[in-house]
Structure 1
Amino acid sequence: MTRLRPLAAVAAVSALLLTPAASACLWDTDTLWQERQEFPGTLELIVGKFPRHTDAFYEHRISTRGAALRLHALGERAMSAEDRAAAYDDLAVALDKLGRRDEALATLDKKVADVGELGEYETAANRGTILIHAGRFEEGLGEIDRALAINPDAHFGRERIQKLLVEYMLEKKSDAEAMPAPLAPIGPNREGFAKFLQERKVSLKDGRKGVEGMMRFGDYRSPALLEALGDLLMAPQVTSEFPDPAAARLLASRAYLAAGRSAPEAADAFHELAATALQMQQIDGQDVETKQVAEALEREFAETDEWFEKVREDEALWIEKSPDPDARFQEKYGVAILKVGDTSGRPSHIQDQWSADARHWPLDAAIGVGGLLTLAGIWALIAWRRRSPSGWEGS
C-alpha cells in the first residue's frame, strides 16, 4: 500500500487535530447563528436582551438629577450650563421612560428657561419623541422636523425614519379614533411599512436600521415598531440581498408574534402575519410551523427575563452602595455582547473572546497543546527518517 509522503502526512494530521468540534443548534426549530450572520442583534432587540435599565434605575436618576438642579438653583452647588442642560435631558428621558410624560415635557420647558438655546437639538428631539409617545403625533412631528433642521444626520438618521413611521401610522389611522393593530390590514396585497418607504425612495436597509434604533432607545415592545420591523424583514428587496432569505423570514415571524404578545387584543392577526412569513420556509428539509417559532420565542423571552433579573439585582446594589451607578452600569454592560442562547453569565469584557457554541477555554487549550505536541513529534520523526531513508518508504 502507498504511504503518505512527509508533508502530506503533516497536513492531514494537522487538519484532523485543529478542526473545532461542530456546534449544535441553539433551538429546536431555528439556526440562530445564520440569523445573526445576516441580521446581527435583531433577535436580541425583539426579545429585549440588550443593555437597558430598570425602572428603579430611572427613579434613581430622577432623584439625583433633580436634586443636583435644585441645589444649583439654591446656590449650594455649582453646575455649568452644559451640565445643567444634560441633567435636564436625563431627567426628561427618565420621566418619559416611566410614563410621566407631562412632567417630562415640563422639564424640557424648564431647560429652555434656564439655558436658552443650549442643547437646542436635544430639546427638540426629546420633546418630539415624548409627544409621540403620548399619542400627540402631529405636535411630535413638528418637533422632529425642528430637530432634523438643526441636525439632519444625528443618531445615524434614525429621526428621519421616526418621522416617516409616524406619518405612516397617521395614514393608517385615517379617521379612526384609535390606532389600528396591525397598522396595515392583512390581505394578499397588504402594503406595510416597507412599501411606504419604497414609495418615498428610502433605503429599506436604512429603514430597518432606524426602526431597530427606535427599539433600542425607545420601547422595544411597541407593537407598531415590531410590526414595522417584520414588514422590513419580509420585503423581497431586503431578503434577496442575502444568501438565506429564510433567516429574514424567521426573524419577521418572531417580530410579528412579539407584537401580538404586546397587543393581546390583536394577537390572532399578528399570528396570521407570522404564519404568512413562514410560508414555504424549511429547516433541515422540514416545514417550519408557527407553533414551533412561537414556542422558541417564549423560551427566548424566558431567558431574557432571567438575564434581566440579574440586571435588576446589579442596579439595586449600585443604587444602594455605589456613588456612581451610571459608571458601574457602563463598566459591566456598556460593552456587553449579549446573545440569545448564551446563558453562561460570563463577564462582558471577555465575552467576545468566546465562540458561539460556548466551548470552555481549558478544553480548547488542551486540544491545541496536544495538537502542537503531536506535530512536533511528527517533525522529529521526519528528521530521523531523513537520516535513515531506507526505513521510510517501505515496500
Structure 2
Amino acid sequence: MRRMLLTFCLLSLLPVTYAVACLWDSETLEQERNKFPGTLEVITGNFPRHSPAFYQWRLDDRLNKLANDPDNDRWLDDVAVSYEKLGRHSEAIEVAESQLQRNPDRYETLANLATFLIHDGQWEAGLRYIDRALEVNPDAHFGRERYQRLLVQYLLQNFPDGQVEYPLAAGDRIDFPTFLVNDQPPGEDGQPPKLSIEQRQAAVQGVVGMMRFSQHDHPVLLEVLGQLLTETYRPKVDAKQLAARCYLLLADSAASPATQAAYEQLAKKSLNLQATHKSGSEGQMGLRAVRRELSGELAAAKKRYNSIVLKEKRWIASGVDVEAAYRQYVNSVQW
C-alpha cells in the first residue's frame, strides 16, 4: 500500500501531460467510434453514395419529367442538386432562385440555395439564405444548418477576403472549437472556455452531416472535424485516432510540401503521448500504424464505391429505375 501511495504521489508531481497518457490500441479506436458513430466511415468515404453517372442520369430524367410539370418543386430540387453534384454551381443557383420566385418561404429551396452559394464562394449571400431557412425550420436536418452557418462565419473571420489558406488555424488564426466558445466567459479556474461534451458532440454531428450529404473529403470539413475530435487530455471527449486520420488525408492531398508537413505535424500532435499496448519501448503511437490502418480503410471504401459506380452504369444502360435498384442494393448490404 505504501509503495502504491508513493507511486501516486510521484505521478501527481509530474506534468499533467505525462500523468494522463493512456494505453491505446485497436480497442481504443472502437471506443472512439462508439463516441462518434459513423464518423470513421464518413472520413474514409465508406458509406452509400452515388456516382457522377447517377447524377447525370437523374438530371436528364427530371428535366424530361419537368417538360410536362414545370413547377414540380421536388423534381426541381433534384435538378438543382444534380447540377451541384456535377460541379455546375451557377445552374444549381439559377434553378433554386427561380423556385424562390414562386415560393419565397420554402425551406428546402432556401437551404439548397444557401449551400449552392457557399460552395460557389459567395459566403455572405449564403449566410443570408441560411438565416432565412432557419427562420422557417430551426430544427431541420438535426441542426446541421446551424453549424453550416457557424462554419461560414468562422471562415469569414479567418479569411475576410474569401481566400482560404491551409491549415485553417495556422499562425494567429483561431481554430473552430475556439471560435465556438469565443462568446463564453472563462472557466472557474480562469482558463479559456472549452466546449462541453454536449457541445462537442453536437458540433461533430453537424460537421459529419455536412460531409455525408455534401463532400466528405472537402479540406475545410476534414480539418474542422479533426479540430473538434482533438481535445488534449480529455479522453472522455476526444478521438485522437480519428483526428489523425483527418490530418493524414489532408497531408496526402496538400498542394505544397509545406502544407503537407504542417498537416503531418498536426497528425503527430493529435497522437502525442498516446501509448499502445504493442508500442514496447517506443512509448508513443506512431503515425505509421495509423497510416497503415487508414490505407486499408480507404481501400475498402474505394472498393465499395467502385462497386456502386459499376452497378449504376449498368442500371443506366439497361434502362431500369436506377433509384429503386440503388435502394434495393444498399439495403441488401451491411454498411
TM-score, normalising length from structure 2?
Answer: 0.81
Q: Residues of 2 paired with 1:173 and 1:259: CA distance?
A: 19
CA separation of 1:156 and 1:260: change in aligned 2, threshold 3 A: same
Amino acid at match of 2:108: E
Matches within 5 A, 1:314-353: 314-333=311-330, 335=331, 347-348=332-333, 351=334
Partner in structure 2 of residue 206 of structure 1: 202
Structure 1, unaligned runs of 5 or more: 1-28, 74-80, 336-346, 353-395
CA separation of 1:70 and 1:263: change in aligned 2, threshold 3 A: farther
Root mean square deviation of aligned Cα: 2.3
Q: Residues of 2 paired with 1:156 and 1:216: CA distance?
A: 13
Measured against aligned partners, the alpha-carbon deviations of 1:76-105 in whole angstroms (never above 9, x if no partner) come to xxxxx5xx1011111101111111001111
1:276 aligns with 2:261: no
2:90 corresponds, among 93, 102, 119, to 102
Partner in structure 2 of residue 142 of structure 1: 128
Q: Residues of 1 paired with 2:33 and 2:230: CA distance?
A: 16
Amino acid at match of 1:196: F
Identity of aligned residues (%): 38
Matches within 5 A, 1:119-130: 120-130=106-116
Matched residue count: 292
1:241 aligns with 2:229: no
- Cα distance, 1:142 vs structure 2: 0.8
Q: Residues of 1 paired with 2:252 and 2:123: CA distance?
A: 24
1:197 corresponds, among 176, 180, 184, to 180
Q: Which runs of 4+ in 1 moved over 4 A?
A: none
CA separation of 1:200 and 1:154: change in aligned 2, threshold 3 A: farther
2:220 corresponds, among 224, 230, 250, to 224
Amino acid at match of 2:276: I
- Cα distance, 1:72 vs structure 2: 3.0
CA contact (8 A) 1:85 1:119 kept: no
- Cα distance, 1:318 vs structure 2: 1.8
Matches within 5 A, 1:33-72: 33-72=30-69
CA contact (8 A) 1:222 1:262 kept: no
The SS at the match of 1:166 is helix
The SS at the match of 2:67 is helix
Amino acid at match of 2:291: A
- Cα distance, 1:186 vs structure 2: 5.7
- Cα distance, 1:301 vs structure 2: 1.4
CA separation of 1:262 and 1:132: change in aligned 2, threshold 3 A: farther
Q: Residues of 2 paired with 1:191 and 1:294: CA distance?
A: 27
The SS at the match of 1:178 is coil
The SS at the match of 1:71 is coil
Measured against aligned partners, the alpha-carbon deviations of 1:290-309 in whole angstroms (never above 9, x if no partner) come to 23322322222122111111
1:253 aligns with 2:244: yes
Partner in structure 1 of residue 11 of structure 2: none
1:91 aligns with 2:79: yes
CA contact (8 A) 2:45 2:216 kept: yes
TM-score, normalising length from structure 1?
Answer: 0.69
Measured against aligned partners, the alpha-carbon deviations of 1:323-357 in whole angstroms (never above 9, x if no partner) come to 32112212221x4xxxxxxxxxxx42xx48xxxxx
Measured against aligned partners, the alpha-carbon deviations of 1:188-212 in whole angstroms (never above 9, x if no partner) come to xx84111111234671211110000
Q: Residues of 2 paired with 1:272 and 1:168: CA distance?
A: 23
1:173 aligns with 2:166: no
Segment of structure 1 superposing worse, 48-57 or 30-39 = 30-39
Measured against aligned partners, the alpha-carbon deviations of 1:260-302 in whole angstroms (never above 9, x if no partner) come to 3343332221111111101001221522112332232222212
Partner in structure 1 of residue 6 of structure 2: none
Structure 2, unaligned runs of 5 or more: 1-24, 185-194
Measured against aligned partners, the alpha-carbon deviations of 1:373-394 in whole angstroms (never above 9, x if no partner) come to xxxxxxxxxxxxxxxxxxxxxx
Amino acid at match of 2:310: E
Q: Residues of 2 paired with 1:112 and 1:142: CA distance?
A: 14
